[in-house]
Each structure stands twice: as C-alpha cells, then as structure tokens.
Amino acid sequence: MIDNTARALLPAVTKPLVAFYRRRGWTPNQITWIGLGIAIGAAGCVASGHPWPAIALWWSSRLADGTDGIYARETRQTSDFGAYLDILLDMLAYSLMIAGFALWLPGLSGYWIAVLLLYVLCITSALALGMLQERLGQPARDNRGLRLGAGLAEGGETGIAYTSFLLFPGWIEPLLWLWIAMLATTVVARSLLARELLTPLDASEPQR
C-alpha cells in the first residue's frame, strides 16, 4: 500500500548510498545478499529480546533491499535472475523475522504459524495476479523486475508491523490480530480481482 510512494522517493534520497555501492564495485546481487545478512542479524536480535537493535537492523536491511534495484538500473546491471533473487531473499528475510518472534514469544506460536501461512498465500497471490495482469496487457504500477499484484499488506506494512511488535510487546496479541486481518484481506482482495479479470477470458471455456 505504501511501497510505491517509498519506491518513488528512494532514488532521490539514496544517491550517496548508491554512489558508495559504485565506489566499492559491488554488484546489485551482492547488495541483495548483504540485505539478507543484515536481516538475519535483525532476526537474531528479535529472538534474543533486543528490540532496538532489531529495529535498526531490519530497516537497514530494507534500505539495502530498496536500493539494489535502483543501483542495478543506474549501472545497467538489471537481470531476470536478480529480480528472482530479490523476491526470494525478501520472503526469506520476512520469514526469518517471524521465526525470531516465535523464539522470543513462544506462547504465541499459533499466531506465528498463521502469519507464515498467510505469507505463502500473499506471495503466491501477488505473483499469480501480477502474471495475469501482464498477460492481459495492463500497465505495470512499478519498475520491479518481477511483477507483483498490489495489496493492503506489502513490504512497507510488514516493516511497520514488525516495528510495532517490538515497540509494544504488551499489545502484541491485538497487533497480531490486526496484521493477520491485513494479510488475509490482501489474499482475498487479490483473489477477487483475479476472478474478475479471468471471467471474460474463461466465459467460453469449461470452468476448471
């Protein structure tokens, strides 16, 4: 929901960081891996109950994730594999954080399992809807290498959710209910949109 706004602002405000990447001679894929490494550190901090380092590391990892594509485009190093690696490591980072929360607050294991299940459905619906929209020739909403369908819960909202969990552990259950509701709403909304888009194509074909 807020990702497109952030993605539009990042190129202007991250020029010094992108220049640093260039000076170091890093590749975009190396930055993607660095982002995952920082996210692993964030998950470790969550698991050990250190909220402030976890928050700082998590948002640092997302900064790396948000600038690897900018750097790739500026240096003409974009690739299909880079787009694949980016989304793969994103989902690994998100899931590792949930594992960290489960180790920190094991009494809420049912909630964490529900979140992971919904992550699977969210990324599946995002990729499937994005592919469908591309097939129908609908304009892309961003310049990502892999097209993803829009949703209520995306990367920015995920970071806000994690930050809220860490800052307000006394409110963790209502916050988790809210996050689960947002994830579920995202899956349902994408599914309804996919059905709407598919109906004209399938009207003359047997239903599957």
Q: What is the DSSP string of 79-101?
A: -HHHHHHHHHHHHHHHHHHHHHH
What's the confidence (pLDDT) of residue 200?
Answer: 60
- Is position 7 within any domain? yes
- Is position 152 within any domain? yes
Residue 122 pLDDT > 60: yes
Helices then strands (H, E): number in the chain?
Answer: 8, 0
- Is position 205 within any domain? no
- Is position 37 within any domain? yes
Residue 149 pLDDT level (bands cut at 50, 70, 90)? low
Structure tokens at 1: 């929901």
Q: Mean pLDDT, the chain, as a whole number? A: 89
- What is the span of the domain harbouring residue 21? 3-198
Task: Give per-residue pLDDT as tens, 16-28.
Answer: 999 999 999 999 9
Task: Give per-residue pLDDT as tens, 32-52.
Answer: 999 999 999 999 999 999 999
Number of domains in the chain: 1
Residue 142 pLDDT level (bands cut at 50, 70, 90)? low
AA letter at 156:
G
- Is position 161 within any domain? yes
The three-class DSSP label of residue 59 is: helix
Structure tokens at 115: 């979140």
One DSSP character per residue, 1-45 reads: --HHHHHHHHHHH-HHHHHHHHHHT--HHHHHHHHHHHHHHHHHH
- Is position 47 within any domain? yes
What's the confidence (pLDDT) of residue 133?
Answer: 75
- Is position 207 within any domain? no
- Is position 206 within any domain? no
Q: What is the CATH classification number for the domain harbouring 178?
A: 1.20.120.1760
The model's pTM is: 0.88
